[in-house]
Structure 1
Amino acid sequence: MSIIDGKNTPMTTSSGAEKAPMTAPPAPEEGRSRKTSWLGVLRFDKFSGLYLAVILIIIFSLWMPTTFGTPANARVIAASAAITGIITLAVVVSLAAGVFDLSLAANMSFSICLLGALIAYLHVPWVLAILITLVAGGAVGAVNALVITKLGVDAVIATLGMSSILAALSFWVADGQTILLTGTNPGFTALGSASLMSIPITVFYLLIVTLLLWFLLEHTPFGRYLYAIGSNAQATRLAGIKVVRLQWATLILTGFLASLAGVVLTLQLGAASFGAGLPYLLPAFAAAFLGSTQVLPGRFNVLGTIVALYLLAIAVKGLQLQYPDLPWIKDLVEGLVVIVAVAITTRTIKRPKLA
């Protein structure tokens, strides 16, 4: 080995073989390093929706300070998104297991009509009526599971058919009318219209459901098994996991959550409005797919869904206040979000196999 005049020359061994010259590694580009560090700190890859929500709040508040930038409007957004949030979390559970349950909104509508009929027509005590309604919602999920797992019907077809059946049942139960419940026990309507610390009580319902499902999906074997089924049901079955049993549990849970969303909406309105759950289907899927790009990018997750839920709620509410003469703007935003979010999701996660 020789080093002459401070220059690196090829290193030779006793055998005469040459080794590669010793050179210092190239210095990292300062700009790229700084950019990477900032991105790492801010975590744009996980929390871009949260940053965008804050930006939208600032823009709309400066643009419409007397309408958007008010505590009253914030409470309206929080309360309205809470109902959507509960049924959206039902969508997340089903998608995590690779099952597209398109009957959730119809199940929500049926639960609204059933609850109203039990209280107004049959004079069932409202606590018992709520329990019966929630059990009925879970039973709808059980029927879906039976058709999908035992009869072998594709999940999309089975749940679409169930949607039509539930629409017919809803019309029969409520006679196609809105059932007013304002004359019932005051405690019934207080459960939906009360506020705690100026925050609508429905927000706390969403918070409770969010925490329970977050723990269930992220910190229990049940949640890990659901994600495994959604990724590859056949491999999960070969690993000894009871796939069919878990799919039953998933569909029953999603039916229960859809029914819960209907109950909470009825409590909030003080009335059982026929078909009130149907408009929630598209927003729920939009928030669920957009949520799969947040917090835990690449899979359907609870916390990311909540971020996406309120991002959509803020964007839609701001545009509705600015353009009140455009009633179609909500559908436009939600439709675009579904397309974009699904396009992003298909690049980061495997498309779930339909059960």
Structure 2
Amino acid sequence: MNVAAPGKAPGETLPVLAGRRWRGALAFRNVAALYLLAVMVVVFSLWVPDSFLTAGTWRSLLSDQAITCLVAVGLVVPIAAGVVDLAIGTEVGLGAIVVAWLLLGHLPVAVAVLLSLMAGAGVGVFSWLMITRARIPSFIATLGVSSLLTAVIGWLSGSEQIVGLPEGFSRIATGQFLGLAYPFWIMIAVSILLWYVLERTPLGRRIYATGGNVDAMGGSSEAAALAGIRTSRIILGALVTGGVVAAGAGLLETAQLSAGDPTIGPGFLLPVIAAVFLGSTQFRGGRFNIWGTVVAAYVLAVGVKGLQLAGLPIWTPDLFNGAALLLAVGLAAWRGKPASRRAAIPRFRVTARADGAS
């Protein structure tokens, strides 16, 4: 005998509700990236089976794209808070050059790594001042910050690669665990941490509430302030988090190359933003989220890898990433602004009352 689920219409039994949830979870608009991945795997398996289907290719893909994925995961936090950080690529470049410059000055590896992460945090603080104090829209402020960082990178490096780094430093990125390079495991650890903060803590609810209520100048709306959310502090923390993660990704890139390359930063911007926006259409109903971004980053990487293995021209990855970004933003706009963001403020109020009662 079928029993109606509590609070539902008499015809809505538990099996019916379970089937509805599964259909919703597997709907194209909820997991489009996974369907795209399946199509690409079939196409490239038929096109370049000798190279695409090898275990070495997939191990290389997981390891080599871990740094790009790490940057995308770090960018989720400021974008979830309503800040479009267009300096994220040059923040990676800054971390890469600062750590190389410090190591060339014979500082211990641990000290150089710590100072590089602090440099990323400092960029986040500066961007926050431009957005919340100077009242410059976030995309303009971070675009200007990106130009400033490009100048700093050129000054520190002399616009040339910094070589002669300590041999042991490269092990941070070249060492392996279970057949995958350390950056992959670092990315997974950072993803788990940020996922927990965003999805399981009151701070995460404040971040989403701030991002759902940011005015045209990048400042907080009255609704968020009335809910008791200190939006300026939320934006500061989000930008600092993004800056630290980007700087960490940059130093991992330097360790991987065994040299500080002043040109690597800008190349991260397009695939990272594409991954974040495509990830927002996955799993969480149009909300920027960590695991959707991880999946999207690797789906895009599979597309680029397949095109490279097929021997297409060197400009093809740029074409693919640009098309992916347009598709991602289009999908996000098609879904519309989810009610979950607008509902973040009332949820925060309920949570705040519950925290106060306890």
* Alignment TM-score, normalising by the size of structure 1: 0.84
Q: Are 2:171 and 1:190 equivalent residues in the alignment?
A: yes
Secondary structure (helix, strand or coil) at the match of 2:253 reads: helix
1:23-102 equivalent positions in 2, closer than 5 A = 39-40=23-24, 42-102=26-86
In the comparison of the two structures, how many residue pairs are matched? 316
Q: Conserved in 1, the CA contact under 8 Å of 2:25 and 2:31?
A: no
One-letter identity of the residue aligned with 2:320: V
SS in 2 for 1:350: coil
Distance 1:307 1:274 in 2: 29
Is 1:328–2:312 an aligned residue pair?
Answer: no
Paired position in structure 1 for 2:204: 223
Say if 2:90 is the partner of 1:106: yes
Structure 1 unaligned spans of 5+: 1-26, 28-34
**Number of the residue aligned with 1:31:** none
SS at 1:98 equivalent: coil
Classify the secondary structure of the residue corresponding to 1:312.
Answer: helix
CA-CA distance at 1:153 after TM superposition? 1.4
1:119 aligns with 2:112: no
CA 297–123 in structure 1, closer or farther in 2 if over 3 Å, else same: same
1:138-149 to structure 2, matched below 5 A, reads 138-149=121-132
- Report SS of the residue matched to 2:31: helix
1:349 shift after superposition: 3.9
Residue 174 of structure 2 contacts residue 181 of structure 2 at CA under 8 Å; is this kept in 1? Answer: yes
Counterpart position of 1:130: 113
* SS of match in other structure, 2:146: helix
- Whether the 8 Å contact between 1:181 and 1:272 is mirrored in structure 2 is no
State the alpha-carbon separation in 1 of the partners of residues 42 and 326 from structure 2: 26
What corresponds to 2:282 in structure 1? Answer: 294
Distance 1:225 1:304 in 2: 20
Matched, 1:165 2:153: no
In 1, Cα distance between the equivalents of 2:209 and 2:25? Answer: 30
Give CA deviations for 1:207-251 in whole Å, capped at 9, x if unaligned.
Answer: 011101100110111111111111114111111110111111111
What amino acid sits opposite 1:228 in the alignment? A
3-state SS, counterpart of residue 67 of structure 1: helix
Which of the two has higher C-alpha Rg?
1
Residues in 2 aligned to 1:244 and 1:218: alpha-carbon distance in whole angstroms: 20
Deviations 1:85-141 (CA, angstroms, capped at 9, x unpaired): 111112211110111111111111111111111111x11111110000000110110
Q: Kindly provide the amino acid, as one letter, of the partner of residue 190 in structure 2.
A: V
Distance 1:58 1:349 in 2: 31
Conserved? CA contact 1:62–1:69, under 8 Å: no
After superposition, give the CA deviation of every residue in 1:28-69 in whole Å (9 maximum; x if it has no partner).
Answer: xxxxxxx97983574444223223323422432333222111
- The residue identity in structure 1 corresponding to 2:175 is A
Asked if the contact 1:299–1:349 (Cα under 8 Å) also holds between the matched residues in 2, the reply is no
Task: Name the CA distance, whole Å, in 2 between partners of 1:181 and 1:95.
Answer: 37
Matched, 1:285 2:268: no
Asked if residue 213 in structure 1 is aligned to residue 200 in structure 2, the reply is no
| Structural RMSD (CA) | 2.1
2:22 and 2:212 map into 1 onto residues whose CA distance is 33
Runs of 4+ in 1 over 4 A off after TM superposition: 35-38
What is the match of residue 155 of structure 1? 138
Note if 1:242 corresponds to 2:230.
Answer: yes
Query: In the TM superposition, what is the alpha-carbon distance from 1:203 to its structure 2 partner?
Result: 0.8
* Paired-residue identity, %: 37
Cα distance change, pair 220–191 in 1 and its aligned pair in 2 (3 A): same
Corresponding residue of 2:331: 344
Deviation at 1:343, TM superposition (A): 1.4
Query: How many angstroms apart in 1 are the aligned matches of 2:21 and 2:87?
Result: 45
Between 1:36-45 and 1:223-232, the stretch displaced more is 36-45
Relative to structure 1, is the Cα distance of residues 38 and 104 closer, same or farther in structure 2, using a 3 angstrom cutoff?
Answer: closer
Q: Which amino acid aligns with 2:295?
A: V
CA distance in 1, matches of 2:224, 2:337: 15
Do the aligned partners of residues 218 and 181 (structure 1) sit closer, same or farther apart at CA in structure 2, a change above 3 Å counting? farther
Deviation at 1:316, TM superposition (A): 1.1
Structure 2 contact 33–295 (Cα < 8 Å) conserved = yes
SS of match in other structure, 1:74:
helix
> Per-residue deviation at 1:205?
1.0
CA distance in 1, matches of 2:283, 2:78: 19
The CA distance in 1 between the partners of 2:159 and 2:149, in whole Å, is 13
